[in-house]
Each structure stands twice: as structure tokens, then as C-alpha cells.
Amino acid sequence: MEVDFIAVAMAAGVAIVMANKTLILGGIRSGKSCYAELLLKKSSLSVNYIATAKADDEEMRQRIANHKASRPTNWRVIEEPYALAETLLHYDQAGHIFLVECLTLWITQLLCLDDDDRMYTELDAVHNILPTLKAEIIFVSNEVGLGIIPYDKISRRYVDIAGRFNQQIAKHVDNVVFVIAGLPHTIKSS
């Protein structure tokens, strides 16, 4: 059953604004991706869907296959696990909209490279090009700061990097929406 997140949000008094730049946050299985895709389906712009996941195991291959099966065939899908800023610049044009799905998977890919210089260069590049983009953009990202402090060092590092990057992006976008239990809540609106 597909939930009409926009109707739910409007009934709850949440303003639905398709602004130039939006960050959609939520936990795992919160409904954030469905909400982002519904915004795209209601848009008249040409969609560039940037998928950041890599199919490194069978479970991830199945997740990717499920996502692919649910997307409209007229959306351009670009698979890019590392060079996000370069990809955004390459495909950037007015009258288009990007969906970056998702920032936290992208950060995971960069962290797994074990190359801090590359990782921070890529993070900075996205932050720096954001104001220059002509296309509209929706970022989807996990809100990683609501749980307990992770036990192991790499998980704590991941939470620190992802949390800080989400904060940077949130400061420089027009809208921030937090999705919890399938319900979108506007945190910031232009």
C-alpha cells in the first residue's frame, strides 16, 4: 500500500513547498525515500536520480533491485558512489531536479575508501557547489544522531561525519523535512 505522504502532510498542516534545495531526513525505514520520490512524481521537472549505493552483497543487490523496480522509467538514473559533486555539475541544468539517494550511503562509500583526503575533498566539494546549481535538488539522508553512541570506533566516526555533514547541508538548503513513521514534518521552510 502506497501512502500519499503529501496528503498526510497537508492534512496535518505541514506546508508542502517544492523549493530549490531540500534535505529530507529520517531513520531507516522511516518513509523518507518514498516521500522524496512522491515529491518528484508531482514535479514537472526532468528527474536525475543519483543512486549512491554499491551492490557489494546479495542483500544490497536486492534492495537496489527493489528501488529500481519502483521508479518511473522516464527518470534518468545515475549510479555514483564517490564523485557526487562532479556528477551534479556534469548533469546540472535548469528545468531539472536531482534526487540524491542517499547522503549517508555516499558517506559510507567514502569512509570505506580509507582515504581521508579524498573523503573530505568530496564532502567539501558538494557543500561548495550547492549554491551554484541551476537544477533543483532533493537530498535524502539518515538522521544518525538519535540513537545511542556506537560501541566501535568506525561507527562513532561515521555518525560524527554524517551528522556534521547533515548539519552543513541543512544550513544551505531552502527546506528540511524530517520523516518519522511515514509522516513528514517540516523543520525548515523557505
User: Active-site residues: which are they?
Assistant: 67
Number of H helices, E strands in the chain: 7, 7
**Is residue 178 a contact partner of residue 31, using CB atoms and an 8 Å limit?**
no
Alpha-helix residue ranges (DSSP H) falling in the chain: 5-11, 32-42, 58-70, 84-91, 103-112, 116-129, 153-171
What own/partner pairs with CB < 8 Å and gap ≥ 24 does 145-151 have? 146/27
Radius of gyration, CA atoms only, the chain: 16
The three grid cell numbers given for residue 12, joined into one nine-digit string: 496535518
Q: Alpha-carbon distance 166 to 144, whole Å? A: 9
Q: Alpha-carbon distance 74 to 133, whole Å? A: 22
